[in-house]
Structure formats: C-alpha cells, structure tokens
Amino acid sequence: MSSTNSLPFIDLKSQYAALKSSVDARIQRVLDHGQYIMGPEVKELETALAAHVGVKHCITVASGTEALLIALMTLDLQPGDEVITTPFTFAATAETIVLLGGVPVFVDIEPDSCNIDARLIEAAVTPRTRAIMPVSLYGQVADMDEINAIAAKHGLAVIEDAAQSFGASYRGKKSCALSTWGATSFFPSKPLGCYGDGGALFTDDDTLAQAAREIRVHGQSQRYTHTRVGVGGRMDTLQCAIVLAKLERFDWEIAQRIAIGERYQHLLQALPLQRLAVREDRNCVWAQFTVLLQNGAQRSALQQALQTQGVPTAIHYPRPLHRQPAYERFAPAWALPHAEAAAERVMSLPMSADLSAAQQDQVIAALRQALA
Ligand SMILES: *Cc1c(COP(=O)(O)O)cnc(C)c1O
C-alpha cells in the first residue's frame, strides 16, 4: 500500500527533465552518424572522465561488473589466486573473482562505516594473495592509504570497486584515482548513470591500460589478431553519449548529493537510529543514503510503516556474501560479525541530487512518526 504522494526512491525523471535538450541532442547525433560501436563519443567520454578523475587512462566498458572482471584479467589472475575483499557488498564484487577461478577472501567491515576494516587485511594475506579489492560502499572510499601500504609491502594490486563512489573525494584525490585500478559503474541508479548498462576503468599504468583496451575487444591488439583471451566488453556509443550529456551538471549533482546527505545526517541526529560514520578526510556521495537500526525486526516494521506513508526504502544488502548459497563455500575460518550485523540493520532512504528539502522533510517526518 502506498499513498498518492509517494516519493521516488531514486528520481531519474527530474534529472532527465533538467537535461532533456542535451540528452536528446546527444542521442540524435549518434543516430545521425550511426557508429553505434566505438563511435566518437566513446573516446570523447574517456577523455572527459580521465580528466575528471585526474588519471592518465579511462577505458569505458559494458558494465561495472565487466570493469572488475577486466581489471582482474589484466592482472592475469590464475585459478586459486586469492583476492581479499569485503563480504558486505553487491555480489558482482566477489562474482568476478570466482568467475576467473580466484578465491575471494572475506575480511570483516568497520561497524560504523560499513567499509572493509583495513586493520584486518594483513592477517588475511597468504602466498596466494594477488590483490585487494575494497569497495567504496554507499559512496564513501575505504581506508585506501592503509590498504595501498599493505599492498605495496606484499606486492599486491589494489582494485577499488568504485561502482557507488564516482565523484567522491579522499584526501584531496578522487575515487578511481587511488589505486592500481579504479572500477566504476554507470548503472542508471549510480551517482553517474547512463540509460542502460555501462562502466569504466581508470589507471595511470600504460601497460595495464593497453591490456584492458585489448581485453575489452576479445583480446585483439589489432583487428583479428587475438594476443590474449578477452571478452565482448565495450560500452556502446549511445550510452557514452548519454553520460556525456549527464556530465554537464555532474559537479552540481555531486555537490547536491553531499549537501543532501549532510542535511539528512543533521536531521537524523534527533532520532533514535545510528547514522553512517563519514570520515573527516573524505566525503560520501551517497549512492545510497543508509542508516543502521537496532535489528532486523525493528527494520521490517519500520520499512512497512514508511511504505504506508509513501516513503520507499531498500536494503543494501540483506545478506553478506559468505551467507549466500553461491559464495558460502568461501566463508573464511574467522568470524565476520560486523558484516552479519550490518546486513540485519541497514536501511536506505530516498536519495537523488533532485531530492527537495520538502521531500526530505517528508522522509524525516515519516521516520519520526514510525520511531515514536
Ligand atoms: C552496482 C555495483 C556493481 C556492478 O555494477 P554493474 O554496472 O551493475 O555491473 C559492482 N559493485 C558494486 C559495489 C555495485 O554497487
């Protein structure tokens, strides 16, 4: 049951209304030139995004999942190789490791930020470890300096799963510019979305960038010369054109997201729930605006109460990966209590760059009533 003035969980319609003339013109231009695969918009977007992030290379790919997969392929991940990652993420993170025969090694999260706990990583390093794959969950980068230091000490690569954090900053640098590879997604609901599937990889390493460009097109170094095993992993020209149009107000959108997130955090101070911790040296672009409740029972009741008041909610994510049927065989010898608790406790509220103060007040009022 939802009331007539139901809020959208993510408002893509207002965004399209604001950008309609540029989006439509960009799409029309692609229809006119007809280069649907690897058309001029692909390079144009890669150049713009590399400049935005502040790295040498951007390689657009078919999705965020494909970005993670290709990044691991450029490292020549072998069956049995281990990749240290978080169990509290979307399945794609671990899926790409397992698809290549690798072993995801799950270490627990920080209970307040829900990001991987960097202090637990070194104890999980073995002679088979090849890489660390932190996730910048909800739009906040994990402790990358600490993670990079462990990686340097042990000769490991670091792949940032930045599917939720494009546009976020960490100690004066941008998400995706912080490690061996930054991998992001342009799934429509992400901070920078297209109108279908898309993603991108970022690196300063020329050799890795070249490898990714080849893997993206079936491992071809030139047409019909397949120097390595690759995938069909291109992002199509139309989706690149749409992201180019969206870039016009992306800086404004990121500023909005940060401001709306801060306003939520401020308004929630008065309510009996736990707010996500955002560290001083970074920001959060709130791919999801997520709070923590006492337990699963309170959460279910609250979700229902909010729904009847027209406030949609979502759970990112209801089960940690080591409790998922496909991944439970990778449950480590150690316990993961914080990931398990977070899966019971998290709840995401409506969030978009176009969320108005009045809409936000409606969310807060509904929460206050439901928690009273
Ligand atoms: C969305 C997401 C992905 C996958 O991106 P797609 O573009 O949907 O393939 C990977 N990791 C995380 C953390 C995500 O949120």
pTM, 2 dp: 0.97
Q: How many CA atoms lie within 13 A of 54 on its CB side?
A: 12
Which one-letter amino acid corresponds to residue 304?
Q
Q: What is the pLDDT of residues 268-316, one digit of tens each?
A: 999 999 999 999 999 999 999 999 999 999 999 999 999 999 999 999 9
- Going by pLDDT thresholds of 50, 70 and 90, the confidence category of residue 51 is very high
Separation of 366 CA from ligand 1 center, angstroms? 30
Residue 309's φ and ψ, nearest 5 degrees, are -100, 15
Residue pointed to by tokens 């409790």: 323
Question: What confidence category does residue 218 fall into, taking pLDDT thresholds of 50, 70 and 90?
Answer: very high
Instruction: Give ligand 1 pocket residues (Cβ under 6 A).
Output: 63-65, 89-90, 92-93, 135, 161, 163-164, 185, 187, 197, 199
What is the pLDDT, as a whole number, of residue 83?
98
Residue 317 near residue 88 (C-beta atoms within 8 A): yes
- Assess whether pLDDT exceeds 60 at residue 3: no
pLDDT of residue 325: 98
Mean pLDDT value across the chain: 97
Beta bridge partners of 131: 83, 157
User: For the domain 249-371, what is the CATH code?
Assistant: 3.90.1150.10
Nearest residue (CA) to ligand 1, atom 6: 64
Pick the atom of ligand 1 nearest to 63's CA.
7
For the cut 60, the answer to whether the pLDDT of residue 1 exceeds it is: no
pLDDT in tens, 357-371: 999 999 999 999 999
Q: How much distance in Å is there from the Cα of 236 to the middle of ligand 1?
A: 18
Domain with CATH 3.40.640.10 in the chain: 13-247
* C-alpha atoms less than 13 angstroms from C-alpha of 244 in its C-beta half-sphere: 24
CA distance 220 to 230: 8
Distances (CA, A) of 179 to 162, 328, 341: 11, 28, 29
Residue nearest to atom 7 of ligand 1 (CA): 64
Summarised one tens digit per residue, pLDDT across range 232-262 is 999 999 999 999 999 999 999 999 999 999 9
72-104 pLDDT per residue, tens: 999 999 999 999 999 999 999 999 999 999 999
What is the pLDDT at residue 56? 98
Ranges for all domains in the chain classified under CATH 3.90.1150.10: 249-371
**Which pLDDT band, with edges at 50, 70 and 90, does 2 fall under?**
very low
Put the strands of the sheet holding 82-85 in their side by side order: 57-61, 199-203, 181-185, 157-161, 129-133, 82-85, 103-106
pLDDT for residue 228? 95
In whole angstroms, how far apart are CA 271 and each of 81, 126, 183, 262, 318? 46, 44, 36, 15, 23
CATH class, domain 13-247, is: alpha beta
334: tokens are 């150690």
What angle, 0 to 180 degrees and rounded to 10, lies between the N-to-C axes of helices 40-53 and 12-33? 140
Question: Using an 8 Å Cβ cutoff, are 169 and 235 in contact?
Answer: no
Cis status of the peptide bond prior to 138, with omega within 30 of 0: no
Pairing of strands 169-170, 173-174: antiparallel
**CB neighbourhood size of 344 (10 A):** 18
Q: Provide the token pair at 4.
A: 């007539």
At residue 267 the predicted structure's pLDDT band, cuts being 50, 70 and 90, is: very high
